[in-house]
Structure 1
Amino acid sequence: MAHDVRIEQLWIPDSLEAADAADFLAAVEVGRRVRMETWGSDDLAYAPLEKLLELADPYERQVILVAKMGHEIVGTVDIALPLADNQDLAEFTLDILPEYQRRGVGKQLLEAAEDVARGEGRSMILVDTNHPGTSLSDFESEQLIPGTGDGFVPLGSREVEFARRSGYTLQHIEQFSACTLPLDTQLVAELEAEAEAANAGRYRLHHWTDRCPDEWLEAVAALENQAGVDNLPPGQEQAGMVFDADVLREAEAVTISQGRRTVVTAVEHVASGELVGLTTISVLAQRQDVVFQDDTMVLEQHRGNKLGLLIKVANMERLTEQFPDARVIYTWNAPENRYLLTVNRQLGFTTAGVTGIWQKELPDFRDSTS
C-alpha cells in the first residue's frame, strides 16, 4: 500500500481560521490520535493554536512533512532544526495513524525527513519512541538496554523494531512520570518539615512567575548553564545554548509570546547570598489542566540538604495557588538521576512509561562522490 502514499511539506497557515488551515488542523489531529493510542489520553498532544505559536520559535525552525492517501493525512513527521546551537542536529517526531501502521508509511516519511535534514546540512538525527508503563511489563524478558546501562525499551515493540530496522541506535532512556494535583495537604506539611529540618534555616526561598527578577538574572543564567551540563547524556559534550542575562530575557520573551507561563522557585544560601538551586514548571497557553516539570537543579556543593525536595514542594504549591485548574504534572528524568526520582516518588509521582532516544548519523554523500 506504500505506493499509494504521497509525501508533501505541510503548509503553515497564518491563523487557524484561514481558508488554507484544513491540512494543518488535520496534521495536529494525527498527533492527538497517536498520543491517545499510546498513552490513553491526549494530555501530551498539542492543541492546534499551541502548535501554531510554537512554529514561530526563533531558536528552532520546524519543517513538517505529511503522508497523504487520497485526501487524508495518515502520518506526519515534525523536523526540528535548532538554530542557536547544535546546528548539526535534527530531531524528528514521527506519528502514523494506528490503522495505517505497518504499511510502509513510516518508512517513506522517515526517508523523506532524512533527505530534508541532509539538505539542511544536518548530520545527526534524533528520534524518540514512547512506551507506556503497561507495555514494559509485557516485555520484561525482552529488553533493549542503551549504552548508558540504565533503563530499557521493550525489544519486541513495533516502534523499537522500526527504529532498529531504519538504522537508529538507542542512546539513552528517559523515565516518564505523572503526579496528580493538587498535592495532599498532609503530605505537603510532612515533606516541608522534613526539608526544613535538613537545611536548618541556612537557606531562603524566592519565587517568581514568567520573568526573573533583575537581581537574580546572572545567577539563574549560571544555574541554567550548569543544568545543561548535568542533564547531558553520558559521554556527550555540552553543545547547547549558553545562557547569560540577555539570552535569558530573550528566552523569557519567546515563552511569553507563545502564551506559556513559567512558575519558578529558587533557593538562596543565606550566608553567601548566592542562588544555589531552582526548579521550574511550565504551563501551556491552551490547556492549563496539564503542566510540565522542567529543570530542577541544585549546585553540587549544596546537595545533601534536601533542597531539591524543598523547592519542588514549594513550587508545586505555588502552581496550585496560581493555576488551580492544573490536575496533573508530567516530568521526564534520566533513570540514573536517582536523587530526583526519589524526590519525585516522595511527592507522589508514578512511572507512566519510558521514552527511548535514538540516534543516527547521516552519511555525507558529498564525501562518497568526491
Structure 2
Amino acid sequence: MGNDVRIEQLWIPDSLEGPDAADFIAAVEVERKVRMHTWGSDDLAYAPQEKLLEMADPYERQVILVARVDGEIVGTADIALPLVDNLDLAEFTLDILPEFQGQGVGRQLLEAAEHFARDEGRHTILIDTNHPGSSLPDTDAEQLVPGTGLGFVPLGSREVEFAQHTGYTLQHIEQFSSCALPLDSKLVAELQAEAEDANAGRYRLHHWTDRCPDQWLEEVAAMENRAGEDGVPGVDDSSMVFDGSILREAEQVTVAQGRRTVVTAVEHINSGTLVGLTTISVLALRPDVVFQDDTVVLQDHRGNKLGLLIKLANMERLSEQFSDARVLYTWNAPENRYLLTVNQQLGFTTAGVTGIWQKELPDFSDSVS
C-alpha cells in the first residue's frame, strides 16, 4: 500500500516524434502490458501510432487519465464520450499494471474518470471486464449472470469484485472468439457447397473494399441501422441513424485512421435488393490481426445459410487481399445463436468473455457536497 498516486489528464501529442510524446507512448505501453497479462498476447493492444489515429475520431471525444506512482505511469483510464448520439453516456476502459493492482490505483482512477464524466454532463457510465476462457468456471455458484440476456462472468475474478464494489451492475455479456486464417481449403469447399445448396441460386454476392458502390449506398445505410438495433441493453442506440451521406463520412473517417474495410453483401436476385452484409476491419499497423464487424441478414431471408455464405466469402477475400492476416477476432452476444452457429462452422473458438457494466451517476444537484 502506501504508494502516493497522482492522477492527471494525459497530453495527446500531434505526433510520436519529439519529447512531448514520451508520456503518451508510456501510457499505450501500460495498456499493451495489461492486454498481454489478460489474454497472453498483445493482439488486442494498440500500437502508439494506431492509438494516436484513434484519438482523432470525430464521432467520439477521447480523453485519457493516467495514474502515476513515483512519476511513472502505472494505470490509465480511457474515456470515450459519444458526440453524435447517446450524449448522456461515457465509456471507460481501465488498465492498471498487474503489479499495482489491489493498491487503490484503479479506484482513484475510476473516481477521477467519473468526476470528469459528470463535469461533461454524462451520467450513464459503461465499463468492461475481460475474462479469458481458461478463467471461466463450470459451476453455477461461481458464475455471475447479467440482468438481461445469457452468459456469465466469473464471480471470483478481481475485476468483477472491483466493478461490484464501485457500484456497477452487470448488464450484458459479449462472447469473444477467434479464428485462425487462412481457412482450410477443404473446409471452405465443404461449407461453400452447403451454403450454395441452401440458397439454390436465388442470391448473388457483391464485394467491395473501403467504399460502398453508389448503387448500394442507401440500402447499406439501412442495414447498418438494423445492426445498431442489436446494441447493448439499457443503452439507446436509436438516435444514431445512418443515411448515405453519413455512411460516406464514416468511410472517410475510417480511411483517415488508416483502417481498411473488406465487405461482402448478398443480393436477393428476384427483388434486386441487398438482404445481408458482413464487414472485416484491418488496422493500419497490425495487418496480422483483423476484426469482424457487423454481420446482418434480414429476418425474412434467414434459414438460407446466407450468414455462412457471406462470412465465408468475406474471409476468403480478406486472405487474398491481406495475406498477412493470421487471426480474426469477433464479439457476439451469447443470445445470437444464429451467428454463433455460423462462427462455429467456420472454426471460431471461444477465447473468453467481456462483461459490460453500467452505473448511473447522480446529478450534482442530487448529491450532497
Q: How does the TM-score come out when normalised to structure 2?
A: 0.98
Shift of 1:2: 5.7
Mapping 1:220-259, distance limit 5 Å:
220-229=220-229, 231-234=230-233, 237-259=236-258
Q: Does 1:113 align with 2:113?
A: yes
Mapping 1:84-103, distance limit 5 Å:
84-103=84-103
Instruction: Report the CA distance shift for 1:94/1:276 in structure 2 as closer, same or farther (over 3 A).
Output: same
Mapping 1:1-370, distance limit 5 Å:
1=1, 4-137=4-137, 141-229=141-229, 231-234=230-233, 237-368=236-367
Aligned length: 369
Instruction: Report the CA distance shift for 1:305/1:132 in structure 2 as closer, same or farther (over 3 A).
Output: same
Listed one character per residue, the Cα deviations across residues 65-91 of structure 1 (whole Å, up to 9, x for unaligned) are: 000011210000000000011010000
Instruction: Report the CA distance shift for 1:323/1:110 in structure 2 as closer, same or farther (over 3 A).
Output: same
Shift of 1:236: 5.0
Specify the code of the residue in structure 2 equivalent to 1:300: Q
Specify the code of the residue in structure 2 equivalent to 1:310: L
In 2, Cα distance between equivalents of 1:120 and 1:138: 42
In 2, Cα distance between equivalents of 1:233 and 1:292: 19
Of 239-248 and 58-67, the range deviating more from structure 2: 239-248
Specify the code of the residue in structure 1 equivalent to 2:316: E
Instruction: Report the CA distance shift for 1:140/1:367 in structure 2 as closer, same or farther (over 3 A).
Output: closer
Percent identical pairs in the alignment equals: 79
Listed one character per residue, the Cα deviations across residues 256-312 of structure 1 (whole Å, up to 9, x for unaligned) are: 000000000000000000011100000000010000000001011111100000000
Instruction: Report the CA distance shift for 1:152/1:223 in structure 2 as closer, same or farther (over 3 A).
Output: same
Shift of 1:235: 5.8
In 1, Cα distance between equivalents of 2:199 and 2:254: 33
Shift of 1:239: 3.2
Specify the code of the residue in structure 1 equivalent to 2:290: V
Instruction: Report the CA distance shift for 1:274/1:257 in structure 2 as closer, same or farther (over 3 A).
Output: same
Specify the code of the residue in structure 1 equivalent to 2:265: A
In 1, Cα distance between equivalents of 2:233 and 2:354: 16
Residue 339 of structure 2: SS of its match in structure 1? helix
Of 251-260 and 144-153, the range deviating more from structure 2: 144-153
Q: 1:2–1:105: 8 Å Cα contact kept in structure 2?
A: no
Specify the code of the residue in structure 2 equivalent to 1:18: G
Of 304-313 and 359-368, the range deviating more from structure 2: 359-368
Cα RMSD of the aligned pairs, angstroms, is: 1.3
Instruction: Report the CA distance shift for 1:220/1:62 in structure 2 as closer, same or farther (over 3 A).
Output: same
Specify the code of the residue in structure 2 equivalent to 1:77: A
Listed one character per residue, the Cα deviations across residues 206-231 of structure 1 (whole Å, up to 9, x for unaligned) are: 000000000000000000001111x2
Shift of 1:368: 4.1
Shift of 1:237: 4.2
Q: How does the TM-score come out when normalised to structure 1?
A: 0.98
Task: List gaps (5 residues or longer) in structure 2.
Answer: none
Specify the code of the residue in structure 1 equivalent to 2:30: V
Q: 1:27–1:75: 8 Å Cα contact kept in structure 2?
A: yes
In 1, Cα distance between equivalents of 2:291 and 2:135: 23
Shift of 1:174: 0.2
Shift of 1:149: 4.2
Task: List gaps (5 residues or longer) in structure 1.
Answer: none
Shift of 1:54: 0.6
Q: 1:264–1:315: 8 Å Cα contact kept in structure 2?
A: yes
Shift of 1:234: 4.3
Residue 19 of structure 2: SS of its match in structure 1? coil
Specify the code of the residue in structure 2 equivalent to 1:182: P
